[in-house]
Amino acid sequence: MRETIKVSILGNDAEFPANAQLSDLYKALGFSKWEILLLVDGKPCPDDRYLEEGDLVTWIRITYHESPVRDE
Amino acid sequence: MRICDICKSKEAVYTNHMLEASLCSDCLMNSIKRRAWSVLRGELRHGDRIMVAHSGGKDSSLSLLLTKEFSDEAKELGLRIVSVTIDEGTLYRRASVELARKLAERLGIRHMTVPVSEVLGFSIEDLRSAIPRGWKRNACTYCGVLRRQLLNAVAREMGATVVITGHNLDDLVQTSLMNLVRGDLNAFAKTMRHERKYEEGLIPRVRPLKYVYEREVASLVLALGIPAHLGKCPLAQGMRIGIRREIDRIEDSEPGAKLRALRFLESISSKLEVSASIGRCSLCGEPTTSNVCKACQFRREVSSLMGIEGELRIDLDPIRRAVASAFRY
């Protein structure tokens, strides 16, 4: 059984535990889920969706907080 | 694939943390529609002429869509709808005006664009360029006040009986907490007041998305491919950003906190007396609670910033010509 999976976040490869969910990705990226909406293959997904090998993750900004990343 | 917890058939697109359930786009739409339609059912009246303040952003676009669907469903009410976009003349707005027009056309709704520069004599982009570094106010503050006044004037001139806006649950909780922090009881009561009441010159506003999270709106608009601009205005800044972050933190630890807070604030505000009475601005004649309205106070500042001599007035003639027959269809 695999322990990690690779996903692409805005074109950059990143490795996560195989049981990581989208909600974990918000935390890893340093954003609040109220601030951005993560998209997998361009589509909105529930926070409890498990990340899958090869997922292409992007995001749109819903609002402004004071997060590490200010501009997409 | 994560399947919807409600219908158990389609792929989920959104997690409702209060219900601890993930929903597909159809079930999310049904959930949002129930809340929005309950507001519309309670607030709209037979024969209403509705102006939807439609920026082309996600919130006002969904408001327009839900209002149209409600109007089609409640045919006995004989509602008429016009979509109006205030064009502040910013680069950001350029994309959203086109999307607003596209959605209105798709829904078979008349759409009108009102350029701020024609009515005020300058665009918000002109104003932004004229504000020096370190100035006491940012362009967002001016834009908010001037746009609100303009929306009301347009609605009044076109004979609208109600204005529908895209304000969502997050907006309303943030605004009420900002009023709380400022100690502004009148503003708090006015923001929260939920009964439809006509005050001289002020067209009543209805917010179908007031019980809908901003995140739900964004998810649904994306999932259904509703034409809407998803960017954020780059001029947005100020106290709201800090307040928003704190409220979001509370919602993270207490799912449903925003909704419960809004219901509570609505309940309190319905018991409050608003002391300020509505009069007319001595300069522009628009409704205000003071002798000179905030928009005129701001226009004075703008004149000075932009080196314009004389008083900047709101010129409603272009609006009157453009909107005179808006509801004749």
- Give the CA count within 13 Å in the CB-facing half-sphere of B26: 9
Is there a domain that residue A17 lies in? Answer: yes
Q: Across the interface, which of B219, B242, B248 has its CB nearest the CB of A44?
A: B219
Is there a domain that residue A66 lies in? Answer: no
Q: Tell me which chain A residues have a C-beta less than 8 angstroms from the C-beta of B218.
A: 37, 44, 60, 62
Distance, CA of A19 to CA of A49 (rounded, Å) = 10
Q: Across the interface, which of B223, B230, B241 has its CB nearest the CB of A65?
A: B241
Q: How many domains does chain A have?
A: 1
Site from B1, B5, B7, B15 to mutate, A interface, most A CB atoms within 10 angstroms:
B15
Is there a domain that residue A21 lies in? Answer: yes
Is there a domain that residue A67 lies in? Answer: no
- All structural domains of chain B with their residue ranges: 29-275+314-323
Structural domain range at position A9: 4-61
Q: Under CATH, to which class is B29-275+314-323 assigned? A: alpha beta
How many residues are recorded in chain A?
72
Say if the Cβ atoms of B244 and A63 lie within 8 Å: yes
Contacts of A3 (CB under 8 A, 6+ apart): A17, A18
Whether A32 and A65 have beta carbons less than 8 Å apart is answered as: yes
Whether B50 and B158 have beta carbons less than 8 Å apart is answered as: no
The residue of chain A nearest to residue B221, with distances taken between CA atoms, is A44
Is there a domain that residue A18 lies in? Answer: yes
Is there a domain that residue A27 lies in? Answer: yes
Is there a domain that residue A11 lies in? Answer: yes
Say how many CB pairs under 8 Å bridge A and B: 74
CATH of the domain at A16: 3.10.20.30
Q: Residue A45: helix, strand or coil by DSSP?
A: coil
Say if the Cβ atoms of B251 and A34 lie within 8 Å: yes
Q: Where are the beta strands (DSSP E) in B204-259?
A: 205-206
Q: Tell me which chain A residues have a C-beta less than 8 angstroms from the C-beta of B231.
A: 61
The interface predicted TM-score of the complex, written ipTM, equals 0.88
Is there a domain that residue A43 lies in? Answer: yes
Whether B18 and B259 have beta carbons less than 8 Å apart is answered as: yes
User: pLDDT tens digits, chain B, 329 residues: what are they?
Assistant: 899 999 999 999 999 999 999 999 999 999 999 999 999 999 999 999 999 999 999 999 999 999 999 999 999 999 999 999 999 887 777 889 999 999 999 999 999 999 988 888 888 888 888 888 888 888 888 888 898 999 999 999 999 999 999 999 999 999 999 888 888 888 888 777 766 776 778 899 999 999 999 999 999 999 999 999 887 776 666 667 788 889 999 999 999 999 999 999 998 888 877 766 788 898 888 888 888 999 889 988 888 888 877 666 777 887 787 777 778 76
